[in-house]
């Protein structure tokens, strides 16, 4: 390890107590998506942290009703290069859930537990560490670069308007770097180079009500019809092609002595490949009007109505993202590390930016149990955490990769 790398590692290690203090402060602010006051409070705190580095602050209202404001932080450089860093402010945990499960900041060994430690407040802290690392190694490069930090107020409920905000602010940027939690695979740092697209849908089965004791045969059971439709849609899953369908909620009927006249199911479809994603949408649309359950005399046939309620397109492997990944490969080789490209099934804001700005993801710290607030003494359940010892080496890797992108690696 050369002197420059050793010096940067020592510098970041000296900053770790401050980084953990900031993360603790962030975790202490409940920023559930449905708590706009908390999201905005976290935004204000975050703006103050980065304001110390000379970033200009802008709050942009979310188009999602009842959500907080997106945060945009900009530090204009003297040169022509621009880099975007993306995180989000919101988490999935209501305050009542945090209290009920005793889910708050705590450090146990090498793990920092708490809401958002991995998804994604730890990633926001690593954005700060990255900026300080680049400035430490090459202050002229840091000052010449325009840095645009974008933090989504409503990522956990999907935020297409934030995607448009990113694309608008990152025009001409060399890269969009997304700081969702990282992972290691067989000792290699894993960088996310593709994500599945997602479509949400609702199926409603209309039947005919009847007295279940007196005239069962006159009815047409909407729950039976929906059950058949659910099995049919679930059968569209093709793991070999990365195409999956999941039914998440089912409801129907009113009382047990009535043939149910209505039932509803909600679900989602996901796929990596855009063409496969479109095929999946066609499969869903084919279910509109589906009918397989009738009254006993055949006089009334149930019908299924299919509605595709929301779509977020796929982020497939592409040459621009692969080009960014090569910078991490070169940096890891320089540092005696290794890097591997992975594809994830979950969405991120990168789904909205990849086809406009070169995008790479998974740049946050190591951790696990995202979206989990429960724990059991036997370890069968554990709460979300980030790995403290991953902050420094991952930041060193990110810094050298970013300097490579900017032409000064």
218/225 Cα distance (integer angstroms):
15
Question: What's the length of the chain?
Answer: 409
Cis omega (within 30 of 0) for bond into 120 = yes
Q: What is the mean pLDDT of residues 109-113?
A: 98
Percent pLDDT > 70 in the chain is 99
Q: Is the pTM of this model over 0.95?
A: no
**Is 80 exceeded by the pLDDT of residue 289?**
yes
Name the pLDDT band for 157 (thresholds 50, 70, 90). confident
Query: pLDDT averaged over the chain?
Result: 96
- Counting Cα atoms < 13 Å in the Cβ hemisphere of 43 gives 30
Q: What is the pLDDT of residue 401?
A: 98
SS3 letters across the chain: CCHHHHHHHHHHHHHHHHHHHHHHHHHCCCCECCCHHHHHHHHHHHHHHHHCCCCEEEEEECCCCCCCEEEEEEECCCCCCEEEEEEECCECCCHHHHHHCCCCCEEECCEEECCCCCCCHHHHHHHHHHHHHHHHHCHHHHHHCEEEEEEECCHHHCCHHHHHHHHHHCCCCCEEEECCCEEEECCEEEEEEEECEEEEEEEEEECECCECCCCHHHCECHHHHHHHHHHHHHCCCEHHHCEEEEEEEEEECCCCCECCCEEEEEEEEEECCHHHHHHHHHHHHCCCCCCCCECCCCCCECEEEEEEEEEECCECCCHHHHHHHHHHHHHHHHCCCCEEEEEECCCCCHHHHCCCCCEEECCCCEEECCCCCCCCCCCCCCCCEEEHHHHHHHHHHHHHHHHHHCCCC
Percent pLDDT > 90 in the chain is 95
- What pLDDT digit, counting tens, does each position of 258-286 carry? 999 999 999 999 999 999 999 999 999 99
- What pLDDT digit, counting tens, does each position of 63-83 carry? 988 999 999 999 999 988 999
Cβ proximity of 107 and 113 under 8 Å: yes
In this structure, what token pair is assigned to residue 12? 């970041």
200/197 Cα distance (integer angstroms):
10
Look at the block and give the residue holding tokens 């279910």. 287
Q: What is the pLDDT of residue 408?
A: 67
**Is 60 exceeded by the pLDDT of residue 1?**
no
Q: What is the mean pLDDT of residues 234-262?
A: 97
**pLDDT higher at 1 or 188:** 188
- Of 123, 168, 44, nearest to 362 (Cα)? 123
Alpha-carbon distances of 257 from 66, 96, 210, 254, rounded to whole Å:
40, 37, 9, 9
Q: What is the pLDDT of residue 4?
A: 78
In this structure, what token pair is assigned to residue 179? 């700081």
Return the domain boundaries, the chain. Answer: 3-195+315-405, 198-312
- What pLDDT digit, counting tens, does each position of 210-232 carry? 999 999 999 999 999 999 999 99
Q: What is the mean pLDDT of residues 226-241?
A: 98
Burial of 248 (0-12, 13-18, 19+ CB in 10 A): exposed
Which of 47-52's residues contact partners 24+ apart within 8 Å by CB, and which partners?
Answer: 47/71, 47/73, 49/22, 49/128, 50/128, 50/149
Name the pLDDT band for 192 (thresholds 50, 70, 90). very high
CATH code at 198-312: 3.30.70.360
Phi, psi at 334, each rounded to 5°: -65, -35
- Work out whether strand 244-252 and strand 262-271 pair parallel, antiparallel, or are unpaired: antiparallel
- What pLDDT digit, counting tens, does each position of 119-146 carry? 999 999 999 999 999 999 999 999 999 9
Sign of CA dihedral 396, 401, 404, 405: negative
**Is 80 exceeded by the pLDDT of residue 409?**
no
CATH topology of domain 3-195+315-405: Aminopeptidase (3.40.630)
Return the minimum-mean-pLDDT range out of 2-11, 308-317, 356-365, 371-380: 2-11
Q: What is the pLDDT of residue 280?
A: 98
């Amino acid at each position: 390890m050369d002197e420059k790398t050793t010096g940067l590692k020592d510098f970041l290690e000296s900053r770790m107590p401050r980084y953990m203090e900031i993360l603790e402060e962030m975790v202490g602010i409940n920023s559930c998506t449905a708590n706009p006051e908390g999201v905005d409070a976290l935004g204000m705190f975050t703006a103050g942290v980065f304001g110390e580095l000379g970033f200009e602050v802008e709050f942009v209202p979310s188009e999602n009703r009842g959500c907080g404001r997106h945060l945009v932080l900009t530090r204009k450089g003297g040169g022509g290069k621009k880099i975007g860093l993306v995180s989000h402010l919101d988490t999935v945990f209501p305050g009542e859930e945090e209290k009920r499960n005793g889910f708050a900041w705590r450090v146990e060994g090498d793990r920092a537990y708490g809401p958002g430690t991995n998804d994604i407040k730890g990633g926001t802290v690593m954005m700060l560490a990255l900026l300080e690392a680049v400035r430490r190694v090459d202050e002229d490069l840091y000052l010449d670069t325009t840095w645009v930090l974008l933090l989504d107020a409503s990522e956990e409920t999907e935020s297409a308007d934030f995607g448009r905000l990113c694309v608008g602010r990152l025009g001409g940027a060399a890269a969009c770097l997304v700081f969702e939690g990282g992972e290691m695979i067989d000792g290699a740092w894993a960088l996310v180079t593709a994500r599945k697209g997602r479509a949400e849908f609702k199926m409603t089965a209309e039947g005919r009500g009847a007295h279940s004791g007196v005239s069962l045969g006159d009815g047409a059971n909407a729950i039976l019809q929906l059950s058949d439709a659910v099995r049919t849609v679930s059968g569209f899953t093709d793991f070999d092609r990365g195409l999956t369908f999941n039914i998440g909620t089912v409801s129907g009927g009113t009382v047990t002595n009535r043939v149910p006249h209505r039932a509803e199911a909600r679900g989602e479809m996901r796929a990596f490949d855009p063409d496969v994603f479109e095929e999946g949408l066609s499969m869903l649309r084919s279910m509109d009007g589906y009918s397989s359950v009738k009254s006993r005399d055949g006089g009334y046939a149930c019908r299924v109505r299919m509605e595709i309620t929301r779509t977020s397109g796929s982020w497939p492997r592409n040459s621009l993202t692969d080009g960014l990944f090569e910078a991490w490969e070169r940096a890891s080789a320089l540092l005696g590390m290794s890097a591997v490209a992975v594809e994830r099934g979950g969405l991120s804001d990168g789904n909205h930016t990849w086809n406009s700005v070169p995008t790479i993801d998974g740049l946050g710290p190591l951790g696990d149990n995202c979206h989990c607030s429960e724990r059991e003494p036997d370890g069968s359940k554990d709460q979300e955490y980030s790995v403290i010892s991953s902050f420094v080496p991952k930041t060193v890797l990110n810094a050298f990769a970013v300097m490579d992108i900017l032409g000064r690696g």
